[in-house]
Amino acid sequence: MTAGEGRPGNVPQAHYDVIVVGAGFAGMYLLHRLRGQGFTVRVFEQGSGVGGTWYWNRYPGARCDVESMQYSYSFSEELQQEWDWSERYAPQPEILAYADHVADRFDLRRDIQFDTRVEAALFDEHEQRWTVTTSDGATASAQFVVLATGCLSNARMPDIAGAADYKGAIYHTAHWPHRPVDFTGLRVGVIGTGSSAIQSIPLIAEQAERLTVFQRTANFSVPARNAPLTAEERQWFRDNYPEIRRKAREEMRNGIFTEPPQKGAFDDPDEVRRQNYEGRWTSGGLTFMAAYNNLALEKAANDTAADFIRGKIAEIVKDPVVAGKLQPTNHPVGSKRICVDTDYYATFNRPNVELVDLRADPIDRIVPDGLRAGVRHYPLDAIVFATGFDAMTGSVAKIAIRGRAGRTLNDKWAEGPRTYLGLMTEGFPNLFVVTGPGSPSVLSNMILSIEQHVDWITDCLVAMRDRGAACIEATRQAEDNWVAHVNEVAAGTLYPQANSWYMGANVPGKPRVFMPYIGGVGVYRQICNDVAAKGYEGFVMSGSLTAERRTAESERAVAN
């Protein structure tokens, strides 16, 4: 056990019912719900403010690819009626302002400790409580710990030889400075062509004297068609929110309200299908993939959509050699998260922008004044790493978590994450994960999935309090069955065919496991509800709170 780890001999300085790790959208809503039920809650947040991913990802062009009117909390009717989103896709500063507004409106900050990382969490089997150690050297105990650490929160900086000797400026999209960065007159290199790169490249290109994009894998991107929201559009959502939210929760696979596809790609003749894709390309956004119901299931169907996008790239990009490099060929469209852009492909028509295909000319090393790839030397004043995240498990793995018999979570998940419903893992009682691996999470509208998990966890803690149970744990059998189900559903789709971060493929040495649950948010919600209705089937509730603690908790609940 290292010095920073919580240990029973290290007497906790504070005691709570629940410790929440992270004050992003999940942590904030957890605090609000749990507090409302009379639980004492402490949230630890490593950043200096709320907002999680929207606090850190401040790169040029950062905005959400789920439309603002849907990428928002639904738990408060007043909140969803009063907040004015300015654009179809809200820019990062506006989403962060929304998070700040929520924190103020619901008086959340008094229970959030900022600038504090949770470094360790140790379960005491005798006390049936967790001891948590934080980066300020303090310890605190809680009956429950909830990891609201986010799925895309552990930024990945690839290990490239020579980086330490580089004399220019280095940025990572997910650790962007809190001051404006001006690339005017500079030679800039961007490494990566995922969503973050595809959003930032057109804006960096407008500023920089010269921009070199280092692409390892060409990516599919569709136009966002972002625009200001009109008062009428906002009002339409506000008037129809109950039905929109219900449909998004229950009927949409990804939790985004749209017209669900009723037919497969080959149910339409070629020309009708082309017109369908054209219409979606023109209206823009993620719903491109909702053109047909078999695009994620059948390769031949998927090829029709992929060919359409490749055709668009060839139309937009004037140099056919550059267009060829930008056309993805090694994975089905959608099997890596499809990107949503504003002028991404057209940016490669600019005279100051160059594309380097790293498959043909791999990065050799970073040198003091730039970068060497293939046989060429690229002088660069700044390098932007848009190289993504150790997704879904990365931030959990950074915490030294020990459950029953001192077993570490990293040891248990060495061959890939194992959970029951993405909510708990056997051997780690009273430890919950919000939107964890094994739940729809990153395949869905995150705020919708966050609300579902937070509501489920809150209801579960209330049910435990009512029963006087001290401990809840997933059974091994339930976990095995769920892991098998998650894998089986994924195997029936095209998703595992891509070397994606969904598969852990972007992190050297990470086990290749398809991490999210692809069965759809409606199906998943029903499963979770059924499990709770059957007395938390697949979980064991045990132990009992002392009469004293139970009385104190009930009194607090009544007082609230």
Compare residues 143 and 219 and give the one whose CB is closer to ligand N01: 219
Compare residues 176 and 536 and give the one whose CB is closer to ligand N01: 176
Q: Site size for ligand N01, by CB under 6 A? A: 26
Which of 337, 402, 418, 465: binder of ligand N01 (CB under 6 A)?
A: 337
Residue 433 interacting with ligand N01 (CB under 6 A): no
In order, the DSSP letters of 132-197 are EEETTS-EEEEEEEEE---SS-SB-----TTGGG--SEEEEGGG--SS----BT-EEEEE--SHHH
Question: What's phi and psi for 194, nearest 5 deg?
Answer: -90, -165
Residues 165-184 that bind ligand N01 (CB under 6 A): 173
Q: Could you tell me which stretch among 193-201, 296-304, 367-375, 448-456 binds ligand N01 (CB under 6 A)?
A: 193-201
Residues 116 and 114: their CA atoms lie apart, in Å, by 5
Compare residues 65 and 426 and give the one whose CB is closer to ligand N01: 65
Which of 8, 38, 47, 158: binder of ligand N01 (CB under 6 A)?
A: 158
In the complex, least distance from residue 387 CB atom to ligand N01, rounded to whole angstroms: 4
Compare residues 189 and 427 and give the one whose CB is closer to ligand N01: 189
Residue 340 interacting with ligand N01 (CB under 6 A): yes
Compare residues 195 and 276 and give the one whose CB is closer to ligand N01: 195
Residue 163 interacting with ligand N01 (CB under 6 A): no
Q: Please compute, for residue 554, the number of CA atoms within 13 A of its CA located in the half-sphere on the CB side.
A: 13
Structure tokens at 242: 């109950």
Q: Are 27 and 52 in contact (CB under 8 A)?
A: yes
Residue 248 interacting with ligand N01 (CB under 6 A): no
In the complex, least distance from residue 193 CB atom to ligand N01, rounded to whole angstroms: 4
Compare residues 130 and 171 and give the one whose CB is closer to ligand N01: 171
In the complex, least distance from residue 527 CB atom to ligand N01, rounded to whole angstroms: 24
Structure tokens at 395: 């931030």
For 113, the 3-state DSSP assignment is strand
In the complex, least distance from residue 393 CB atom to ligand N01, rounded to whole angstroms: 14
In the complex, least distance from residue 36 CB atom to ligand N01, rounded to whole angstroms: 30
In the complex, least distance from residue 159 CB atom to ligand N01, rounded to whole angstroms: 8
Residue with smallest beta-carbon separation from ligand N01: 194
Residue 67 interacting with ligand N01 (CB under 6 A): no
In the complex, least distance from residue 298 CB atom to ligand N01, rounded to whole angstroms: 23
Compare residues 360 and 547 and give the one whose CB is closer to ligand N01: 360
Residue 234 CB coordination number (10 Å): 17
In the complex, least distance from residue 278 CB atom to ligand N01, rounded to whole angstroms: 23
Residues 81 and 75: their CA atoms lie apart, in Å, by 11
Residue 197 interacting with ligand N01 (CB under 6 A): yes
Structure tokens at 347: 């940016």
Q: Give residue 502's Cα distance to chain centre.
A: 10
Strand partners, 122: 131, 402
CA distances from 110 to 74, 79, 527 (A): 23, 20, 35
Residue 435 interacting with ligand N01 (CB under 6 A): no
Residues 143 and 472: their CA atoms lie apart, in Å, by 10
Task: Specify burial of residue 123 (Cβ count, 10 A radius: 0-12, 13-18, 19+).
Answer: buried
Which of 74, 195, 212, 347: binder of ligand N01 (CB under 6 A)?
A: 195
Which of 27, 192, 284, 429: binder of ligand N01 (CB under 6 A)?
A: 192
Which of 189, 194, 223, 516: binder of ligand N01 (CB under 6 A)?
A: 194
Axis-axis angle for helices 231-250, 446-467 (nearest 10): 50
Closest CA to 472 of 430, 532, 534: 430
Residue 65 interacting with ligand N01 (CB under 6 A): yes
- For the window 490-509, what string marks contact with ligand N01 as x by the rule CB under 6 A? -----------x----x---
- For the window 387-406, what string marks contact with ligand N01 as x by the rule CB under 6 A? xxx-----------------
In the complex, least distance from residue 359 CB atom to ligand N01, rounded to whole angstroms: 9
Compare residues 1 and 157 and give the one whose CB is closer to ligand N01: 157
Residues 441-460 that bind ligand N01 (CB under 6 A): 442
Residue 358 interacting with ligand N01 (CB under 6 A): yes
CA distances from 381 to 174, 183, 370 (A): 20, 9, 7
Residues 360-389 that bind ligand N01 (CB under 6 A): 363, 386-389
Residues 215-234 that bind ligand N01 (CB under 6 A): 216-217
Instruction: Identify the residue whose tokens are 């973050």.
Output: 196
Q: Which residues contact 284 (CB under 8 A, 6 or more apart)?
A: 222, 223, 224, 225, 226, 340
How do 210-215 and 353-357 pair as beta strands?
parallel
Cα torsion at 408, 411, 415, 418 (round to 10°)? -20
Compare residues 463 and 505 and give the one whose CB is closer to ligand N01: 505
Structure tokens at 313: 């790239």
Residue 115 CB coordination number (10 Å): 12
Which of 152, 204, 229, 400: binder of ligand N01 (CB under 6 A)?
A: 152
Closest CA to 173 of 216, 147, 203, 206: 203
Point out which residues bind ligand N01 (CB under 6 A): 64-65, 152, 158, 173, 191-197, 199, 216-217, 337, 340, 358, 363, 386-389, 442, 501, 506
